[in-house]
């Protein structure tokens, strides 16, 4: 009888998060362990089912013995780690990051189709952002409505690159990419052609569903009408690994 190869051994480690003793698999990240144990950590670029980019830094945590803050989404757990997820320093840091996102583009919630269903808006509420302490850039970005089903409003984009990753890693189309540098970066379709002229877009709408804000939305939606469904992603991602 053919012998089945031994399963790869994954060790279990013990650690504390906010004083709570926990165990986890050594291949898990801090954010995964926190989500499993219902410990809230804000996040924007991270999404269960997509690769990790560690871009937004909203998920930073403190680690005993390290002066630096670590991103919970890109740091694996280790034996004996002592993690703090919600100190005053972290709250200050996260609040400033959210304010900078608001100041960078034009997030006018009252006229946004995602009003009430927006992750940035929710983050502002949970981080206590009731005003922005830095000057707004007030730069006008394009809106591309050339696709018959969807629209991209770059004024609302937070450059989390979820759309780029879901299109590449789950749909396999790689229609989306990022062009430019710094605050003038923008997500683009097919080497910056209008979305409606894209030869690679399958119109699956996955990019729209994973977008945390009102940047990628369905055509025809009005203020507050755009509700996104992201349940499909972890299911599809896991099935891909099982194959
Ligand atoms: Fe960790 Fe964005 S969620 S850096």
Q: Report domain extents, the chain.
A: 12-86, 91-242
User: Ligand 1 centre and the CA of 41: distance in Å?
Assistant: 10
| Average pLDDT over every residue of 99-121 | 96
Ligand 1 interacting residues, C-beta cut-off 6 A: 43-46, 54-59, 71, 73
Alpha carbon of 87 to those of 55, 116, 164: distances in Å?
21, 27, 33
Stretch 15-44: mean pLDDT: 97
Q: How confident is the model at residue 6 (pLDDT cuts 50, 70, 90)?
A: low
The backbone region for 58, taken as left when phi is positive above 0, alpha when psi lies in -120 to 50, beta otherwise, is: alpha
Best residue for ligand 1 mutational test, from 44, 100, 101, 127 (most atoms within 8 Å of Cβ):
44
Helices (H), the chain: 30-36, 88-104, 119-126, 162-165, 206-210, 232-242
Domain 91-242, CATH class in plain words: alpha beta
- Name the band, by pLDDT with cuts 50, 70 and 90, for residue 136: very high
| Residue 150: pLDDT over 90 | yes
| pTM: predicted TM-score of the whole model, two decimal places | 0.92
CA-to-CA separations, 61 to 26, 83, 90, 240, in angstroms, rounded: 18, 7, 7, 31
What pLDDT, on the 0 to 100 scale, is given for residue 10? 87
pLDDT for 9 equals 83
Looking at the CA of residue 72, tell me the nearest atom of ligand 1: 1
Q: How confident is the model at residue 217 (pLDDT cuts 50, 70, 90)?
A: very high
Region 16-32: mean pLDDT is 97
% of the chain exceeding 90 in pLDDT: 89
The mean per-residue pLDDT over the stretch 38-47 comes to: 96
Does the pLDDT value for residue 207 go beyond 80? yes
Mean pLDDT score of the chain: 94
Per CATH, domain 12-86 is 3.10.20.740: yes
List Cα–Cα distances, 168 to 43, 91, 174, 230, in angstroms.
21, 33, 4, 16
Predicted local distance difference test score (pLDDT) of residue 184:
83
User: What number of helices (H) and strands (E) belong to the chain?
Assistant: 6, 10
Question: What is the distance in A from the centroid of ligand 1 to the CA of 95?
Answer: 14
Q: Is the pLDDT of residue 203 over 60?
A: yes
Give the C-alpha separation, 235 to 45, whole Å: 19
Ligand 1 atom with least separation from CA of 74: 1
Question: Which run of H or of E encompasses 76?
Answer: none
Confidence of residue 2 (pLDDT cuts 50, 70, 90): very low
């Amino acid at each position: 009888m053919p012998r089945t190869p031994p399963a790869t051994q994954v060790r279990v480690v013990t650690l504390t998060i906010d004083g709570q003793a926990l165990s986890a698999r050594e291949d898990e990240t801090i954010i995964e362990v926190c989500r499993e144990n219902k410990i809230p950590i804000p996040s924007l670029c991270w999404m269960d089912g997509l690769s990790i980019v560690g871009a937004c830094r909203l998920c930073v945590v403190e680690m005993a013995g390290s002066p630096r803050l670590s991103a919970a989404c890109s740091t694996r757990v280790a034996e004996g780690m002592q993690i703090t997820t919600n100190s005053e320093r972290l709250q200050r840091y996260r609040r400033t990051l959210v304010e900078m996102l608001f100041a960078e583009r034009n997030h006018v919630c009252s006229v946004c189709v995602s009003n009430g269903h927006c992750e940035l808006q929710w983050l502002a509420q949970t981080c206590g952002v009731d005003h922005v302490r830095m000057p707004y850039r007030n730069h006008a970005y394009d809106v591309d409505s050339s696709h018959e089903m969807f629209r991209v409003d770059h004024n609302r984009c937070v450059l989390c690159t979820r759309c780029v990753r879901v299109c590449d890693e789950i749909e396999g189309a790689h229609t989306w990419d990022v062009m430019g540098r710094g605050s003038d970066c923008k997500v683009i379709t097919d080497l910056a052609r209008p979305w409606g002229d894209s030869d690679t877009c399958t119109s699956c709408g996955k990019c729209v569903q994973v977008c945390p804000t009102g940047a990628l939305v369905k055509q025809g939606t009005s203020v507050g009408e755009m509700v996104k469904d992201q349940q499909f992603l972890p299911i599809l991602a896991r099935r891909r690994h099982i194959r």
